[in-house]
Amino acid sequence: MNKESLEKTFTEIYKTQGTKPQLYFAPGRVNLIGEHTDYNGGFVLPCAIQYGTWLIIRNTTDGLIKLASANFDGRVTVSSAPPLSRQQVKWFNYPLGVMDQFIQRGIPLTGMELLYSGDIPNNAGLSSSASIEMVTAYALNEILNSHLELTELVRLSQKAEHEFAGINCGIMDQFIVGMGKKNHALFLNCHTLEYKQIPLTLNGFRLVIANTNKQRALSDSKYNERVVECQLAVTYLSQIVDISRLSELGFPQFFKMQDKIPDETIRKRARHVISENQRVLNSVNCLWKGDLRQFGYLMNISHDSLKENYEVTGPELDTLVEEARKIKGVLGARMTGAGFGGCTVNLVKNESVDQFIRQVGENYSTRTGLKADFYIAEISDGVRKIESK
């Protein structure tokens, strides 16, 4: 939806005259490598993409918060006085969760009218929820004059997801949605939150995202289960070595002590996280050197570990990856995001992109009965205000 039609819809819905509404945008993201490492204090390497969420918003004096979306039917109106109540319709809880975090920080809400519009494919693991959270946090920070730092908006959006949406996610998604930079990947230490923008020079290659279009049943509870499994791995390992996060161990060190984890499943989870962490470091080196071939290889073994050790892929993601790897000109193919459905990210030579989309699409649908969608990623900036001309 363009700016004009969004403003028109806003006026149609809210009618009342008031202060001029302001427009904000937050992107979605694709993670290049470093999957399920963030909540283990590890490294990640995501990029912000061209798809995202627009929010048009203004404050009012009636003490009511009104939420609507151009993508979904249904609206909600709640009082701006605490406590804010959780809603049955899932997406409302993302903005309300963020608003609740402002209240928890002693920042009172005013009445306001909000209209969202997004083009991130739903439920595809491209961070549509973090995008809604961050666009809300960024806009509220401005219209409430609360002067919170961007990193604080990132943290409070993550907390909103824990408390209002019930997912114990790491910080990667909110961080990249906040700090993304055009044509750069963000190399983030999720424990210290130190980060570096790594120029993404793809010399003749494209990042192609492929969507399984598989409904991600029970993905939230399986995600939380993985978080608990990693904590259990730390409990076992910390009896031998003084650690509080899996990311504190290097792979050689883990390799020597892995037998101390009695449960094979928990051992595999730790193996993935610790090896994936090292793969992020190696990937950053490859990108600095422009060694895309080696980077693609790391993407491939990342997927294989997510399949064998972390068990978050499933037949649809695995099929997309298998078919992708058959195409000449594909250097790497892996799932991206939480898994259990969602998308893959593929490093594909320019000249092979058309063939990739055709052939992987056909073979995927023959093998699974589902239709895949494809998007060519443009690496974009993080959350921002869209100034009116």
Given the rule CB under 6 A, which residues bind ligand GLA? 31, 35-36, 38-39, 169-170, 172-173, 337-338
Q: Which residues contact 177 (CB under 8 A, 6 or more apart)?
A: 26, 27, 28, 29, 48, 127, 130, 131, 133, 134, 382, 383
| CB of 30 or CB of 348, closer to ligand GLA | 30
Shortest gap between Cβ of 344 and ligand GLA (angstroms)? 14
| CB of 39 or CB of 116, closer to ligand GLA | 39
| C-alpha dihedral, 362 to 366 to 371 to 373, nearest 10° | -30
Shortest gap between Cβ of 300 and ligand GLA (angstroms)? 17
Shortest gap between Cβ of 340 and ligand GLA (angstroms)? 10
Residue whose tokens read 């094979």: 264
Shortest gap between Cβ of 69 and ligand GLA (angstroms)? 21
| CB of 188 or CB of 286, closer to ligand GLA | 188
For residue 332, the Cα-to-chain-centroid distance in whole angstroms is 20
| CB of 139 or CB of 172, closer to ligand GLA | 172
| CB of 56 or CB of 338, closer to ligand GLA | 338
Cβ–Cβ < 8 Å for 188, 242? no
Shortest gap between Cβ of 35 and ligand GLA (angstroms)? 4
Q: Which residues are catalytic?
A: 173
Own/partner contacts of 233-236, CB < 8 Å, gap of 24 or more, are 233/261, 233/266, 233/267, 233/269, 233/270, 233/273, 236/260, 236/261, 236/262, 236/266
- C-alpha span between 328 and 338 (Å, rounded): 27
- C-alpha span between 127 and 134 (Å, rounded): 11
Cβ–Cβ < 8 Å for 175, 188? yes
